[in-house]
Structure 1
Amino acid sequence: MKKLLLSVAVLAMSTSFAMADTVRLGTEGAYPPYNFINDNGEVDGFERELGDELCKRAEMDCEWVTNDWDSIIPNLVSGNYDAIIAGMSITPERQEVVDFTQNYTPPSPSAYAALSADVDLDGGVIAAQTGTIQSAHITTTGATLLEFATPDETVAAVRNGEADAVLSDKDFLIPLVEDSNGDMVFVGEDIPLGGGIGMAFRKSDPEMRAKFDAAIQTMKDDGTLNELIIKWLGEDSPRF
């Protein structure tokens, strides 16, 4: 009986220690306004503010980890961090590898941007970030896909003539187009892709995922999530 009680006590202590562990949130840090590194070298943006609030509501201590986009899912699965909060759209292909929370942004449009309104979107060269819903979409068209590791490189490819246009989240492109003094313009129609953006977790962490899922729901219910969307993504961005 004493051994049984001791075993239960040890298990309880182990569980409490496990629950007290810091949750490591993985993000790219290169996709404003969702996530970026500010002048102080810290993760900033919509997802930083959102993630900090979700951790508070889930009653968890969290720390931020940055990781290149092209390895962000493999490094979650291998245990380098505990969750992804990095502008990641929910797709069936990704759901085969990781589990998502409910979306914390509604599905928002992707858009083409170019240096001229006369570019050939169907037969030209289109830049997109590797491993994104935009790069996958381009492969279904007649255009030639030119992939880059970071979103900034996709825009640079258009500016230096490597690509005819870039396809990316419109929320990412809007400030770039607006600040280009007319050099860059939106081309063609917006394209709805993905099922909105959510947090991704290892399939072995359903309890942690459920805590953050519940926290997202409370922010939807009290309107604070819409407030953050307006603050960071703009009045015209879809919201709940």
Structure 2
Amino acid sequence: MRLWDSEGNPIGSPGRGHQGGVKSIAFSPDGQKIVSGGGDGTVRLWDSQGNATASPGRGHQGSVWSVAFSPNGQTIVSGGIDGTVRLWGSKGNPIGSPWRGHEGYEVKSVAFSPDGQRIVSGGLDRTVRLWDSKGNAFGSLGRGHQGGVWSVAFSPDGQTIVSGGIDGTVRLWDSKGNPIGAPWRGHQGGVWSVAISPDGQRIVSGGEDGTVRLWQGGDWKTWLQVACDRLRDHPVLVKPKTQEARDAKKTCQKYVWSKADSSTK
């Protein structure tokens, strides 16, 4: 694990301890601590100079693919090859039992919501899953990716989740795990990482094709614009047969489509 300044100069000596590749690293919100997850199945803590500060957190049966700090810096979440999501205290002590739900498939990515009350995980079972702070699953099971989910992230307001998958798509979900609009396509290969800008206006993705792509984000009306425009010609909205579909069409007509646009009537 190595530290660098903003100009690319190394800071201090490499942080050594993992007996295998370092799969994921994250800073605490105050910038004073670093957590890392490794191929040796451990979660390790370091200070801002790269010195180990606690005994390694052991529990995962295999590689730890993703780690993240809670917004208050007091809790760490990790996801591993063993299909579990685990919580740790700020000193590397395990909290509670592992969370199981990804059906034994690897958990590739985990993230805290901005309020620290929810966690999202993405796994090789092709799902995006939501958990409360006690490890209880809630909301809808996010299904849609035609392959493993490699990266997940919350928007700054906590109302939207973005995911990237091995199917080459970027997808949006609401705070309860329901899909928003159609998948975003552009990468010629798997999407390995996604992030949302601090102002929520842009999404960035990195892929197997060697490209970094930027996507326009925005507030809820921007997300609605994306969803409605992509569904404009879908049979469900062209000739809605259920009350739910009729309500969706009315929402699109009210907030997005021009009332003069005869194609929406």
TM range (shorter): under 0.3
What is the TM-score normalised by the length of structure 1?
0.27
Q: Relative to total residues, which structure has the larger strand share, 1 or 2?
A: 2
> RCO higher in 1 or 2 (8 Å CA, sep ≥ 6)?
1
What is the TM-score normalised by the length of structure 2?
0.25
